[in-house]
Amino acid sequence: MSLHPSGVLARATYRVPVLLRSCHPEPAIAVTVFVTALAVAAGRGTAGSVAVAAAVLAGQLSVGWCNDAADAQRDTACGRRDKPVATGELPPRTVAVAAVTALALCLPLSLLSGVAAGAVHLGGMVTAGWTYNLRLKHTVLSPLPYAVGFGSLPAFVTLGLASPSWPAWWAVTAGALLGVGAHLVNVLPDIEDDLATGVRGLPQRLGRPACRWLAPCVMLAAVGVVVAGPPGAPALMDRVMAAAAGIVAVAGTAVSSGNRSRWPFRAAIMVAGIAVTQLVLRGPGMA
């Protein structure tokens, strides 16, 4: 029995927005914008920066959908109303197919930046994200994929330049620290649910009070590396931005209330934005 074309179209029209809600849009968009800004600053040009944006977005979509597919049973048991799979709006198989499709698209899009850069993106950020979702989020090594993934992003940018080179140590270190900080604040709203369903990553083992204050320290360390790492004395603007990052990081964790507060995560995004802005201002010095 065949479906009427209008029925197929209506079903697709309904599922696309729901799928987009299931891809973890906030971090997907934020990471894509941040890395694209780095590409522009490093001199990748219009075509190169667009290629970076497309590859990073595809990779982030694949990781986000993989996360929801892998956590389908756990999210349903926890009654997660923000997860379309948990609410029954999407079957887990649909999200899994979307994850694999995005991953398949990410492969050629990453290689548009060259073999070395593409390999770093696929082997660093994308593989780390999938490894976290499928295995390491349940272990004490849960911060490792975040450190590897975010630390590899500057290399994805600089290895795709006309004259490929590894990024400066401070760019890689700052990226890794920002990744670990993002991991800490991202799990804050769900620590109790995670523990109840057997997820015992490092933040869950440390507990909410420790993570709530450790996260801003890690993120501020990232900002400090960007300010102090490059040659030369930090400019006044660098000091001002570092101070702003400190205020945002501490306020975002201190004023949050409720087990599912998203303010610590949003504070992490803002601090990451400040760090990336500093990287952008450094320009070609990152390579």
Residue 238 falls inside a structural domain: yes
Q: What is the pLDDT of residue 259?
A: 53
pLDDT computed for residue 287 by the predictor: 75
**For residue 255, what pLDDT is reported?**
65
Mean pLDDT split into 10-residue runs, the chain, 287 residues: 44 72 89 92 94 97 94 83 83 92 97 97 97 95 97 96 93 93 84 86 90 83 89 84 85 63 70 80 76
Give the per-residue pLDDT at 9. 39
Within-domain flag for 3: no
pLDDT at residue number 280: 77
| CB-CB contact of 224 with 215 (8 Å) | no
- Tell whether 1 is covered by a domain: no
Calpha distance 253→78 (Å, rounded): 24
Output the CA torsion sign for 146, 147, 153, 155: negative
How many folded domains does the chain comprise? 1
Residue 176 domain-assigned? yes
pLDDT for the residue numbered 80: 80
Token readout for 159 is: 């290895």
Residue 2 resides in a domain: no
What's residue 150's pLDDT?
A: 95
CATH number at residue 81: 1.10.600
Is residue 258 situated within a structural domain? yes
Domain interval for residue 153: 8-286
Answer yes or no: is 270 within a domain: yes
pTM of the model: 0.88
Helix (H, G, I), strand (E, B) or coil at 84: helix
Query: What local confidence, expressed as pLDDT, does residue 250 receive?
Result: 76
Tokens of residue 136, six digits: 């390491």
Reported as type and span, the H/E element at residue 115 is: helix 115-121
Q: Which of 272, 284, 283, 278 is nearest to 29 (CA)?
A: 272
CA distance 227 to 233: 9
